Structure 1
Amino acid sequence: MTGTIRWDQGADGIVVLTLDDPARGANTMNDAYVRSMAATVDRLEAERDTITGVIVTSAKKSWFAGGDLDRLRAIGPDQAQAALDRATQVKADLRRLETLGRPVVAALNGSALGGGLEIALACHRRIALDDPSLQVGAPEVTLGLLPAGGGVVRTVRMLGLATALTEVLLTGTRHRPARALELGLIDELADSPEALITAARAWIHDNADAAQPWDRPGYKIPGGVPTAQLPAFPATLRKKLKGAPYPAPRAILCAAVEGAQLDLDTAFVVESRYFAGLATGQTVKNMIQAFFYDLNAVNKRDVGEVPSVRKVAVLGAGMMGAAIAYVCARAGLDVVLRDVTLAAAQRGKAYSERLTTKPELLARITPTADVADLAGADLVIEAVFEDVALKHRVFAEIEDVVAPDALLCSNTSTLPITLLAEGVSRQADFIGLHFFSPVDRMPLVEVIPGEKTGDEAVRRALAVAALLRKSPIVVGDSRGFFTSRVIGTFTNEGLAMLAEGVPPASIEQATSQAGYPAPVLALMDELTLTLPRKIRREYQAAAGDAWVPHPADEVIDRMIDDFGRPGRSSGAGFYVYAEGKRTGLWPGLSAFARPDVKVPFDDLKERFLFIEALESVKCLDEGVLNSVPEANVGSILGIGYPGWTGGVLQYINQYPGGLPGFVDRARELAARYGDRFAPPPLLLAKARAGEVFA
């Protein structure tokens, strides 16, 4: 064995290289791999005359997991040459492998992602196990990177420029075997691990003269270099990014287009240079922190042994209840979807029927109006209107019907769980389980224990989230919890800008260029303005004399009361609608205009980012948030905080000048726009101590 690669040669001359890092649970492109691959290729070249072919396989559950994220996170801005040299070495060894002069087959008995796919692409044939859990793809863009082991250059030469960009490089999509075969990322599927190796051996015996297509005379990139279409690529990317500060997609586009017009070796150099620029930047550090380390911290909790769930009672078949029923059925659970009438429950099931035609999934959902049908349910998820009395009533109707130890969950987004728990007798089994819309696509769920919720109920709720393939954050019980409370500061800030006289188009542009997925006024139209007004009045009643009005309040009231434009559901809001589609901002917003107001555009962008980050610090200080990873993951996955920041608290950490720099800028914003930007005590204390949020 050479470090992380085992060498086995049979009597037929075929060498089986087994990727198996003894120090890691998964194979990655760490220092040990780089040394091992260099030594292995040295030996292959030295013993080439005794070798008839090479099979590359893996001893791990995942064939090869990708880059060494620990190392990538540690690369500093002054280490560009080291990053360039590393990428150059990885490419050089893979290039030696594919020009060995012997057929090389990648036998994918597990997922090949990132660097794993790049190793496979340097082989002459890729045969994969036909396993639905196996994934093939280049997800680097989702971590702020580009494939640096030749992945950009080889996918473009293999699939063509347009397909490589749209199906692999710019999307970061993880393809299942059938789709990877259809695309051409893999060449053949095998039914079993044994058949996989047999097929690899057979191909080697039949293809002694194997070579990469681009190493054969007369080779041309599929589709050629579509010169006339080249201007469309940056235009399309610009439309997709909307000005958001994500450098990786731009670097990938440049490396792909430039490399397609160069010889292979020069294209590799271009790819490495763009990689070095990304690897030494801050965005990649932020995204690796959020989408790998923080996400793993949230998803990989040990909940111990908890009772399994077999039957779910979903109370309320409206939009949220219907969608929750679908994700439960998708996870293999039997679901009883109850509403006040059978027709209403059937309309709820129709939601699932629009998403899938799989009869086995749809058969798991039983619509009903009869409480008796909920008998034996060991999980209850309530999703009725945000009204305390109504929620108390629906739980009172079912508590004695469902299983005596059923976990009782409310999908409320704002109402305190301790208050809602007063409607049940088993308060230790009552917990908040807040899903996000659309439930079938949004990956986050908030788990909210009340004052009397037991530890067992929390562990069971976390297990339910894992079963439903959701990322859970555990948050403290208060009005709005974490996500609703923080996103409220974001939407209010957009309305405050409008109240100040900032042009609405500038507000929307600032949202997009800061990196948010939806412009703030468009988002408000989707939410409908009557909802934040209702929430505001509830907060005001609870706060009493401590209530502090917000500049957004007047905008909401005028839009509803004076203009009759509460949002998209009524066909009129901040935007004009035709047949349900936005056609443009409502010209009547000129009523808020103040030509004398000049707000710097950078201020607009940072006000959105700062107001949510500051509120998150308060949530952490008050115990609404329990950890920094939950803050970062919850903000990105739940409320659309820009992914390039790494999340609300990582944004503070990485701000120029660190926490002291953030504090100085917050004070500047407070002086200009109001005390809501004043840095809270926890932030000030950490800044003085030279700490970060970790």
Structure 2
Amino acid sequence: MSNESTSVSPITYVQDQHLALVGLNSAPVNALSKAVRVGIIESVEKALSDDKVKAIVLHSHLPLFSAGADISEFSGGDLSPMLPEVLEVIEQSTKPVIAIVGGNAFGGGLELALSCHYRITHAKNKVGLPEVHLGILPGAGGTQRLPRLTDPKTALDMIVSGAPTPVTALGNVFDLIVDTADELQSAAMSFANEVVEKLMPVKRVCDIDLEMSSDIETLFAQYSQGVAAKSKGFFAPGQCVLAVKAAFTHDFKAGLAREAELFMECMTTSQARAQQHFFFAERAASHVQGISRDVKARDIKQAAVIGAGTMGGGIAMNFANAGIPVIMLELQQAALDKGLALIRRNYENSAKKGKLTSEQVEQRMLLLTGTTSYADLSDADLVIEAVFEKMSVKKEVFSMLDKVCKPGAILASNTSTLDLNEIAASISRPQDVIGLHFFSPANVMKLLEIVRGEKTSDEVIKTAMKLAKTIRKVGVLVGVCFGFVGNRMIEPYGREANRLMLEGATPEQVDRVIGKFGLPMGPFTMGDMAGLDIGYFVRESRREFIAHDPSYCIVADKLVAQGRVGLKVGKGAYLYEHGSRHPIPDPDVIEMAKQEAKRLGIEQREISDQEILERCIYPLINEGADILKEGIAAKSSDIDVIYVYGYGFPVFRGGPMQFADEIGLKQIRERMNHYKETLGEYGQHWFTPSPLLNELADAGKTFASVK
């Protein structure tokens, strides 16, 4: 095919008659690192200086075109040439540059393609500009070039949402879209040769002029209002709208300058730091230190779930969704039938919403079988128990599994609080026991806390981490303690919310403050949704730990004693109308809090929103510091992943530990000590700063610095 071939790592350059084929070859995702950027410029300049070359074809040797910027470079260093410089070299080329976008092009990868003079792809491909998820906006001309090739609403939708978009929905972005990926290469080369033979012009997107009409002006006004309402707490979406609008109010050069200005405004925000922190945190969570690469994961070809209730059914659905056969066990046939019927109803509801076809529903149901006999679990590679949260019940289940399961089967508990080591010690194969803590609803929530016992083998841990990806969960490895990471940290959060009610705050005030902070619901609404009886049973198992505090969740305990266990019965901390999830404040609960406060000698007062926020969030962070110090979590970023995916902590704050690092650990400690001193005996019990918090604050360090 070629008569000349040289390589400029990580870029290939092949001359094929009158075409210069410039290939992106930087595994795994063709990130546009400095080496790639330099290689592209050198290749284009080489082609321009060669009279034999009449056109340049930019393509990829990998399945995708390019995933965009190498964000590890965001921390600084010599980044020249920057991506905008590279794109200008391409755009100003006097010889046509044709991009073959054979796979996904995201972020800077799409901006690279947009700077070319012609673009070719296949109909099943998707492209996108996801920078908004990193708290920034496309900074290499994406907000200026895209609206010059498609309509303004499509450009806004792509840039503000950051979502991948089918290439067939993008108007004139692509000059040729073939039906399948298989025919792309030959069609692209024919197109490139046609460009040369017909002396087709260099088509620069920057030469397209846009004008602001009254209809487009109205679109931007409406879009801005919608973004403000839907993206509270996020800074970048609003800036994205302004950047796209600049394409209609400025010429191309001035629009680029405005884009750069808005980009830098985003880059200096706490939201961008938080979102970029979380981007790396999620990826780092899958890397477990101390396990040899030689350790092989076990194959999971058959799974089983003990319990066909809401949690067990949700867990089972994850395996069916991934194409793994799963057996559900219930001792009573009626309970089993009810569980399987609920799963079918869930799938059929998804089909009604267009998320599944009827064929897919049946395929998944075929992967689900039920049994009332433990003997039918003998071939399972993995068994997960999802039974009542009581140690004696868990041990009874594991004793049966120990007898019937084959050697090498992984025995997992979905416990959310109990001692996994005690469970493991009760059977003959503790090395095969692990915690797989799913979050409800288990078929929806992305988080999977993977709990490592004292004797859990490395092979089992590696299998569990791999399994998380297979069933499309974000797995985070944690150690054994009460509540592990997530539920251990939620305890002081809920404790303070309940105490604040005794001191004079109302449930709706607390929930409003937490909602404004960015969580999807406050502690009282969350308690009602989950069921106040669940928290009560946990407290019952820990009365010795909380005996020194007679005020501990006392109103919640009394609500449960009255049968007010939350949404499922229409009343808890709030009242609920039949069929509604909307919480209605109940004066009787406020009066109950007043009477309990009086009985306990707690003076009620007006409490500021700031105090509510600090007293709910800072003890949660302080508990996270203890968890980090004890090695229950390997790194602070793991805690952040757990809280964003498991508890709805706002990603624009990066998670509780990143939030603490952002505002400063000295500030956290100062406020903890303030409440320790001002809340009397209660403060002395509950507001002692963690030794790690003290250590880091004294050294001027962050939680992220703990390795």
Structure-1-length-normalised TM-score: 0.86
- Does structure 2 conserve the Cα–Cα contact (< 8 Å) formed by 1:64 and 1:116? yes
% identity of equivalent residues: 28
Aligned counterpart for 2:608 among listed residues 600, 604, 611:
600
Report the CA distance shift for 1:500/1:200 in structure 2 as closer, same or farther (over 3 A).
farther
Q: What is the match of residue 69 of structure 1?
A: 71
What SS class does the counterpart of residue 226 from structure 1 fall into? helix
Cα offset, 1:504, TM superposition: 4.1
Report the CA distance shift for 1:276/1:311 in structure 2 as closer, same or farther (over 3 A).
same
Aligned counterpart for 1:667 among listed residues 673, 689, 692:
673
Q: 1:120 aligned to 2:113? A: yes
Cα offset, 1:584, TM superposition: 4.7
Deviations 1:77-107 (A, max 9, x none): xxxxx99xx79x5335424534546543322
Q: What is the match of residue 90 of structure 1?
A: 83
Cα offset, 1:253, TM superposition: 2.5
Q: 1:346 aligned to 2:331? A: no
Cα offset, 1:423, TM superposition: 4.9
Deviations 1:509-563 (A, max 9, x none): 321332223333322221111111111111114x3xx63437561231344446x
- Does structure 1 conserve the Cα–Cα contact (< 8 Å) formed by 2:504 and 2:607? no
Deviations 1:460-502 (A, max 9, x none): 3223223323222222212211111112332333333333323
Q: 1:171 aligned to 2:199? A: no
- Does structure 2 conserve the Cα–Cα contact (< 8 Å) formed by 1:499 and 1:552? no
What SS class does the counterpart of residue 413 from structure 1 fall into? coil
What SS class does the counterpart of residue 438 from structure 1 fall into? coil
CA distance in 2, matches of 1:212, 1:338: 64
Q: What is the match of residue 585 of structure 2?
A: 586
The amino acid of 2:72's aligned partner reads D
Aligned counterpart for 2:691 among listed residues 673, 681, 685:
681
What SS class does the counterpart of residue 67 from structure 1 fall into? coil
Cα offset, 1:148, TM superposition: 0.6
Q: For residues 616-635 of structure 1, what are the structure 2 equivalents within 5 Å? A: 616-635=624-643
Q: For residues 206-221 of structure 1, what are the structure 2 equivalents within 5 Å? A: 206=194, 208-209=200-201, 211=203, 215-216=207-208
Q: What is the match of residue 19 of structure 2?
A: 14
* Worse-matched range after superposition: 270-279 or 617-626: 617-626
What SS class does the counterpart of residue 581 from structure 2 fall into? strand
CA distance in 2, matches of 1:269, 1:247: 19
Cα offset, 1:312, TM superposition: 0.5
The amino acid of 1:364's aligned partner reads L
* Worse-matched range after superposition: 473-482 or 157-166: 157-166
What SS class does the counterpart of residue 395 from structure 1 fall into? helix
CA distance in 2, matches of 1:331, 1:590: 47
- Does structure 2 conserve the Cα–Cα contact (< 8 Å) formed by 1:431 and 1:448? yes
The amino acid of 1:188's aligned partner reads I
Aligned counterpart for 2:363 among listed residues 354, 360, 365:
360
Deviations 1:25-75 (A, max 9, x none): 54333333443444444455555x754433211234543232232221348
The amino acid of 1:280's aligned partner reads T
What SS class does the counterpart of residue 333 from structure 1 fall into? coil
Cα offset, 1:684, TM superposition: 0.8
The amino acid of 1:677's aligned partner reads F
The amino acid of 2:693's aligned partner reads L
Report the CA distance shift for 1:582/1:67 in structure 2 as closer, same or farther (over 3 A).
same
CA distance in 1, matches of 2:497, 2:230: 22
Cα offset, 1:365, TM superposition: 1.5
The amino acid of 1:27's aligned partner reads N
Report the CA distance shift for 1:278/1:445 in structure 2 as closer, same or farther (over 3 A).
same
- Does structure 2 conserve the Cα–Cα contact (< 8 Å) formed by 1:378 and 1:407? yes
Report the CA distance shift for 1:394/1:128 in structure 2 as closer, same or farther (over 3 A).
farther
Q: For residues 180-219 of structure 1, what are the structure 2 equivalents within 5 Å? A: 180-183=167-170, 188-189=177-178, 191-192=180-181, 195-206=183-194, 208-209=200-201, 211=203, 215-216=207-208
- Does structure 1 conserve the Cα–Cα contact (< 8 Å) formed by 2:144 and 2:246? no
Report the CA distance shift for 1:284/1:216 in structure 2 as closer, same or farther (over 3 A).
closer
- Does structure 2 conserve the Cα–Cα contact (< 8 Å) formed by 1:157 and 1:260? no
Cα offset, 1:199, TM superposition: 1.8
Q: What is the match of residue 653 of structure 2?
A: 645
How much is the aligned-residue C-alpha RMSD, in angstroms?
Answer: 3.2
Q: What is the match of residue 569 of structure 2?
A: 570
CA distance in 2, matches of 1:559, 1:525: 11
CA distance in 1, matches of 2:628, 2:694: 14
Q: 1:377 aligned to 2:377? A: no
Report the CA distance shift for 1:331/1:554 in structure 2 as closer, same or farther (over 3 A).
same
The amino acid of 1:252's aligned partner reads C
Structure-2-length-normalised TM-score: 0.85
CA distance in 1, matches of 2:370, 2:219: 51
**Alignment gaps of 5+ in structure 1:** 76-81
Report the CA distance shift for 1:561/1:315 in structure 2 as closer, same or farther (over 3 A).
closer
Q: How many residues align?
A: 663
Q: 1:151 aligned to 2:142? A: yes
Cα offset, 1:130, TM superposition: 7.1
What SS class does the counterpart of residue 581 from structure 1 fall into? coil
CA distance in 2, matches of 1:36, 1:112: 19
- Does structure 2 conserve the Cα–Cα contact (< 8 Å) formed by 1:475 and 1:624? yes
Q: What is the match of residue 289 of structure 1?
A: 277
CA distance in 1, matches of 2:373, 2:349: 24
Deviations 1:300-329 (A, max 9, x none): 446621221111011111122112111112
Cα offset, 1:425, TM superposition: 3.2
Cα offset, 1:682, TM superposition: 1.6
Q: For residues 428-447 of structure 1, what are the structure 2 equivalents within 5 Å? A: 428-447=431-450
CA distance in 2, matches of 1:587, 1:526: 16
**Alignment gaps of 5+ in structure 2:** 1-6, 351-355, 598-602
- Does structure 2 conserve the Cα–Cα contact (< 8 Å) formed by 1:514 and 1:606? no
CA distance in 2, matches of 1:500, 1:189: 68
Q: 1:137 aligned to 2:139? A: no
Q: What is the match of residue 228 of structure 2?
A: 238
Report the CA distance shift for 1:228/1:171 in structure 2 as closer, same or farther (over 3 A).
closer
